Amino acid sequence: MNFTLKIMGTASAMPVVGRFQSAHVLEVHGRSFLIDSGEGVQSQLKRHGISLMRLDSIFISHIHGDHVFGLFGLLSTIGMLGRTAPLNLYGPANLGPILKFFLSFYGDGLAFEVRFTPLKMKGPEVIYQTKNVEVLAFPLNHGIETFGYLFREKQPPYNVRKEAIERYGLSRTEIGTLKRGEDVLRPDGTVIPLSDAAYLPYVPRSYAYVSDTAPFPELPEWVRGVDLLYHEATYLQELEDQAALRHHSTTLQAARCALEAGAGKLIIGHYSSRCKESASYETECRTLFPETYAAQDGDVFDLPLVKLQ
């Protein structure tokens, strides 16, 4: 049951040698999710051994070019590879006309349906779910429609302890009750506590993608307790005025969000083209949030499964 983040690009708007623009791949329970699709994304996917044909869904934060210019080449290539399964695409409503333009000129050869869902929420809402995973979207503060995403495993069914089955003589119905996370109440008034007879097999994992945004009060609450938080840190703290002007975040603003949210780890990226090395970004963040890692293209962050007994 994998939960693995792969960084495809860490640059911001201007091209930089050695860095691609924004794109992440999150692999969860055998599904691959692409988050943003900056220029050159399909080359990066192939370079890092990620199957274009196995992409389940694509999540776009906003329509600035460094987050979306790679999308249409990627869709064309997937079509040439012969995909027929529908592809889910989520993003702001203003992505719709751009997608329509692309499909009107280049869509004839696509044998698969692009299922576009425009986002309009004012707070976190579930937009996608499977048996094991759910994805929430929430608005960011970037001057145009922009959304962040929270990916999290659903709580698994409880495991019933074998010794409890024998000790209490549990019926199939009672076992089902415990698996749902409920105490067993017998007709004679006997209560079999969930905590005594069953346990969660593992701790659900989570990842939040916070792309281009200026700080705002609700954000730490919306990603509270997340295991792995990606938060853009376009500027060093000394350029706070530039960050505010462009609705971006600085290193310390990203670190403060992680601290207030109680995140497990902070991943930073989306570096300004002025940035020749990212060590100074990481150093500044760690003054507030020690578990900060400055992402590089190709980095892999794996969230191990923590089993419970």
Active site residues: 66
Describe the chain by its helix, strand, coil percentages, rounded to 5. Answer: 25, 30, 45
Amino acid found at 45: L
Residue 291: both structure tokens together = 């578990």
Task: Report the distance separating Cα 19 and Cα 43, nearest Å.
Answer: 12
Q: Work out the angle at residue 252's Cα, subtended by the Cα atoms of residues 261 and 240, and round it to the nearest 5 degrees.
A: 130
> Which among 273, 286, 210, 303 is positioned nearest to 20, based on CA atoms?
273
CB < 8 Å & 24+ apart, contacts of 159-168: 159/198, 159/199, 159/200, 159/201, 160/197, 160/198, 161/197, 161/198, 161/199, 164/192, 164/196, 164/197, 164/198, 168/192, 168/197
Report yes or no: 215 and 253 within 8 Å, Cβ to Cβ. Answer: yes
Q: Which residue has the tokens 């570096």?
A: 271
Task: Indicate the DSSP class of residue 307.
Answer: B
